[in-house]
Amino acid sequence: MVIPAKRQVGNTARQQNAKPKLRVAAYCRVSTDKDDQLNSFFAQMRYYTDFVRSNDKMVLVDIYADEGITGTELEKRDEMKRLIRDCKHKKIDRVLVKSVTRFARNSLECIETIRTMKSCGVSVLFETDRIDTEKMNSEMMLYIKSAFAQNESTSASRRMSTSIRMRMEDGTYVATNAPYGYKLV
């Protein structure tokens, strides 16, 4: 039997007692590809990269970022679907998101996604809303925030439709593309 030197035993014990780093992912989304939105998009990604790197208890798994995609339908958001898939494969412990409105604008999909992540052992922190699913004992606040986000999206859509209809009626609407078979004059 070989007895290891004291120094080796100490290092081994310290390594066994050391907590593994929290595997963190960030989710970012902007709904349009306009310059101001793109600046916000890149600022979000830079912020989370720097935030995780500055914390020695965390390691950044990846940044999942849907650019120019609406938050109303999960089906259209490839990066969100990839995030969920990685949560199911146990690659992530925690997800950081700026706000509920960046995460989802559909209250049902928001709650379902959070439940899926929680079932995988993944918590989500919505920074500006101060909602942490790790400490959350009720989904009520999250549901209310996501319902407001959904309503805001629906209202914006209605305003755009009304604006287009009114401009068509008074002859000031200019289409960006001519209908098939026509030329824009």
Q: Mind listing the pLDDT tens digit for each residue in 21-38?
A: 999 999 988 765 555 555
Would you state the pLDDT for residue 107?
80
Position of tokens 């290891």?
4
Both tokens of 20, joined, read: 């593994």
Reply yes or no on whether the pLDDT at 153 is more than 70: no
Give bridge partners of residue 28 from the DSSP assignment: 65
Rounded-to-integer distance, Cα 116 and Cα 136, Å? 15
Would you state the pLDDT for residue 103?
86
Helices (DSSP H) in 67-139: which residue ranges?
Answer: 78-88, 100-103, 107-119
Strands across the sheet with 131-132, in order?
58-67, 22-30, 94-97, 123-126, 131-132
**Tally of CB atoms within 10 A around 101:** 22
Mean pLDDT of the 26-54 span:
78
Q: How confident is the model at residue 50 (pLDDT cuts 50, 70, 90)?
A: very high
From 34-38, 76-80, 81-85, the region with the lowest mean pLDDT: 34-38
What is the reported pTM? 0.66
